[in-house]
Amino acid sequence: MYKKLLALLLITTVVIILSCQSNDHNPMEAKYKAAYVAVNGIMDSGNIDELDAYIAEDAIDHQMDPSITTKTGLAGIKEVFKYYHNIFPDMKTTIHSMAVSGDTLFGYISSTGTASEPFMGMPAGTSQTMNAVDVVVFKDDKMVEHWGFMDMADVMMMMQSNMAGESMMEDKGK
């Protein structure tokens, strides 16, 4: 039920965003989309030094996890990318859709990877897919702000599978 509601909400949001766009072509639209594709490719490849070309030094990531890094800006974003690439070295991201309105890009993605080490209760070797919506603001050809919203149904499924795995491990220990 929640999956259907979340999917409907996501589709409705994308339709509203797309329908609110003016018919005037944004000359930066192609550049913003290319930058978004490149940054997602960097997350998959782990080549974090390439982020310099796309993200401002003082960029703000509203999804920054202080348990991963206390750095801010581009330096913090690089550490987060490196952290996730080390855990999911085979990560592959699919960009399902992108829309640009003014200086803001909206993207809907799915990332799939296999944990190379235990992560958030998942044993190494566990494959995980997460769906997310990104909101990215650009200034002077670079990303300056990012918000990421994960599909809570995916998070709940991951937690349930982790709890089941922990329960099985506890039973073996008895």
Give the pLDDT of residue 153: 76
In this structure, are residues 52 and 81 in contact, taking their beta carbons and an 8 Å threshold? no
Q: Is residue 18 part of a domain?
A: no
Number of domains, the chain: 1
What is the CATH classification number for the domain harbouring 42? 3.10.450.50
Query: Which backbone phi and psi does 54 adopt, to 5 degrees?
Result: -120, -20
Q: Is residue 160 part of a domain?
A: yes
pLDDT at 167 over 60: no
Tens of pLDDT, residue by residue over 21-31, are 655 577 899 99
Question: Token digits for 168?
Answer: 């099985």
Give the pLDDT of residue 107: 98
Query: Nearest to residue 130, comparing CAs of 94, 85, 87?
Result: 94
Tens of pLDDT, residue by residue over 50-66, are 999 999 999 999 999 99
**pTM for the whole structure:** 0.77
In this structure, are residues 51 and 81 in contact, taking their beta carbons and an 8 Å threshold? yes
Distance in angstroms (rounded) separating the CA atoms of residues 95 and 161: 25
Tens of pLDDT, residue by residue over 80-108, are 999 999 999 999 999 999 999 999 999 99
Range of the domain at 129: 27-173
pLDDT at 1 over 80: no
